[in-house]
Amino acid sequence: MNRPTPKTLQRRFFLALGHAIHVTWPVLSAILAIQLALGLLTGFVEGWSLGDAVYFTFITGLTIGYGDLVPRQTLTRALAIGIGFLGLFVTGLIAAIAVYAMHSALTNAGNGGK
């Protein structure tokens, strides 16, 4: 049985990754846009600068949460929870895309590249 080279597997992985990102991009971009809108709304209500609002959005969405910017009002705390939940979806989607690409590369290896 002919085993594919690591370079062939890598090429198949990145081809499958590109395909999966292309297919899921509308969902991924919509989630990121909603996160950004929630973050900007949070920043507006809290009186933060635009940079701080965007920073807060990504730090919360990536579930890092340094704690240097903290929403104080009930509404903005609820918005922060929404940003966090959407961040979990983004993380899960990216992990699923990577698993799909790896599975696709390895499965194609077993099928002779078909």
Q: Residue 72 gets which letter from DSSP?
A: -
**Segments in 47-73 forming alpha helices (H):** 50-61
Q: Does pLDDT of 112 surpass 60?
A: no
Beta-carbon contacts of residue 30 (< 8 Å; ≥ 6 apart): none
Number of neighbouring beta carbons within 10 Å of residue 111: 7
User: Does CATH number 2.10.240.10 belong to domain 22-107?
Assistant: no
Q: What is the mean pLDDT of residues 57-86?
A: 96
The span from the CA of 31 to the CA of 25, in Å, is 10
Q: What is the mean pLDDT of residues 45-71?
A: 96
Distance of alpha carbon 83 from its chain centroid, rounded? 12
**How confident is the model over 99-108, as pLDDT tens digits?**
999 999 999 7
Q: Which helix (H) or strand (E) holds 62?
A: none
The span from the CA of 63 to the CA of 85, in Å, is 9
Q: Residue 5 gets which letter from DSSP?
A: P
What is the domain partition of the chain in residue ranges? 22-107
Reported pTM: 0.85
